Chains A and B, each alone.
Chain A
């Protein structure tokens, strides 16, 4: 059993709904995202190519961040294949950030969401941010999703790193990660990529595909299929099996 994600580049429209859904679900502060993007523009007009690659932690099987972490704060969960993080053990040494070849780990240089702790009112008679926070019963911000807190702090402390957990708190409830549910074009598929009969494994078997920077030997669990090409735009309308190579 090991979770993995397949992202169909032909279906991804670059709308960033995944990024926004992740931000809301996981209460990430201003300044970084767990789910983000790489964009690449290449070629010369009129043959210009623009690529949008949705990125997040790849939950690598051979994770350099886990090997580099001196305190085992970054660890592999044997049951799920997820790369997870324990804020209580994190000493903020940033070795994981330097070691991750994908740039997907961020650190809270300051206490995140701290403006919600302020008692100052913007104008006489208004709510202070603190009052709004207390009224909503929120932790760190009135919008903080309390369900996030079942497996990881809703607000991660200053000095601690953080990154995508594949929404492990949702997986426990039998739900898919928030980014998968938010994707309007069904470009993201999620499941047990160690099971050859799962939908994600079938997609990889059918289309090939690869993870990012696989040459480094990290064995990422996020696999990109069907590299985007304009001529493939109408492929779903063709008879099945025709021209489906990755």
Chain B
């Protein structure tokens, strides 16, 4: 625990930006929870940017957990040396995602209730359960690291994190993939997309936020491979959608989506942090695209209310929930670094 933190440590441009994000996004979140509805939703388009924010941050956190678990299992020193900051990142980003989800559900209590009345056939229940377990595992690992307790439990915990994180990412895909009435969602493909996109955004976040040469090289290698795999998946999807005769399919993939991943994978060593950021934005684009597109075709009677096919643009309050999620994650990461690390190896801001 670092006791040498002073108020001056908070008077930085990063903290000012974080504070602005927390206040602006927090005001929208509180209004949404207690006073009224601000999001650009309707009864046919129900999952919009706030839900995308949750999925984006949850998958990014999953990716960091996967990279860390891989490093611990394979004994990659370049990764294991950064165990604590990576744990702080994974926890902070996951809690940022949970914050966005709470505004989407309209209440914090709803996130607890989900665990108390389980429906085992529901992918959303599994998603909630797996991410809760993942959060607990990450917290246990952080506490053990803080107390300097390493030994017999390290390997089982690393394997547990690997399995739970991979299952959580796959389950997020299943939330959409098990929907039978919407052709843009249905299918196991989305679980592959969410798993690989977790690796892309998680490894990119490490490159972006932990610019240490050895770690950047190892995480950058994982990022480049994952980004190329992701580009291949998108290409497969583009080809499938081009030839699909499924009625009502709009198609969420486009050739342009390949660009961020191909550019970032090819040129990463030239500007690692900038291109990692490009990869993160690309992952957000893909996730946003498939989550929104799946709901644009109005089903049944809703076509009468909203038109056969809708269009969607996020409004400012929704954009501020994205800001809120990122600000909460950033604040927790900064706090973790300021209080839980002994001054060494802080994240770049």
Contact = CB atoms under 8 A, between A and B. Distances in A.
Given A69-B122, A71-B113, A109-B37, A94 B47 contact: yes
Contacts of B185: 98
B322 to A, nearest CB: 19
Q: Give the most central of B124, B179, B304: most A CB within 10 Å.
A: B124
A31 B114 CA distance: 28
Contact of A36 (B105, B298, B304): B304
Contacts of A110: 36-37
A149 B163 CA distance: 47
A218 B304 CA distance: 23
B46 A94 contact: yes
A103 B44 contact: yes
A32 interface: yes
Nearest to B302: A103
B299 A102 contact: yes
Contacts of A95: 122, 124, 175
Contacts, number: 123
A159 B125 contact: no
B110 A68 contact: no
B179 A98 contact: yes
Nearest to A34: B301
B132 interface: no
A239 to B, nearest CB: 37
B303 A38 contact: yes
A182 interface: no
Interface in A205-239: 212-213, 216-218
A202 to B, nearest CB: 28
Given A91-B114, A93-B114, A68 B124 contact: yes
A97 interface: yes
Contacts of B43: 31-32, 97, 103, 105-107
A33 interface: yes
A158 B106 contact: yes
A99 to B, nearest CB: 5
B122 A103 contact: no
Contacts of B305: 32
Contact of B181 (A37, A92, A216): A216
Contact of A68 (B114, B116, B123, B299): B123
B327 to A, nearest CB: 24
B124 A93 contact: yes
A146 B245 CA distance: 50
Interface in A13-46: 31-33, 36-39
A70 B114 contact: yes
A104 interface: yes
A143 interface: no
A72 interface: yes
Contacts of A70: 114, 118-119, 122, 124-125, 128
Nearest to A160: B106
Interface string B167-207: 00000000100111110010000000000000000000000
A91 B128 CA distance: 12
Given A98-B179, A159-B107, A36 B301 contact: yes
Interface string B44-78: 10110000000000000000000000000000000
A74 B37 CA distance: 23
Contacts of B41: 109
Interface string A153-176: 000001100000000000000000
A246 interface: no
Q: Which of B107, B294, B298, B301 has the most CB of A within 10 A?
A: B301
A31 B42 CA distance: 9
A145 to B, nearest CB: 22
Contacts of A97: 43, 46
Given A97-B46, A99-B181, A72 B304 contact: no
Contacts of B301: 33, 36-38, 55, 102-104
A73 B124 CA distance: 13
Given A95-B175, A98-B295, A107 B300 contact: no
B117 interface: yes
A142 interface: no
A9 to B, nearest CB: 16
A10 to B, nearest CB: 21
Contacts of B46: 94, 97-98, 107
Residue picked from A39, A94, A212, A213, most chain B C-beta under 10 Å: A94
A72 B122 CA distance: 9
Given A71-B125, A94-B46, A94-B47, A39 B179 contact: no
Contact of B300 (A31, A102, A217): A102
5 contacts: A55-B300, A91-B111, A98-B295, A106-B43, A109-B37
Q: Top 3 A-B pairs ranked by shortest CB distance?
A: A101-B181, A103-B300, A103-B299
Interface of B: 36-37, 39, 41, 43-44, 46-47, 105-107, 110-111, 113-114, 116-119, 121-125, 128, 175, 178-182, 185, 294-295, 298-305
Given A110-B36, A216-B180, 19 more contacts: A38-B304, A67-B121, A69-B124, A70-B118, A70-B124, A70-B128, A91-B105, A92-B110, A94-B47, A95-B175, A97-B43, A98-B47, A98-B185, A99-B179, A100-B181, A101-B299, A103-B43, A103-B301, A107-B46
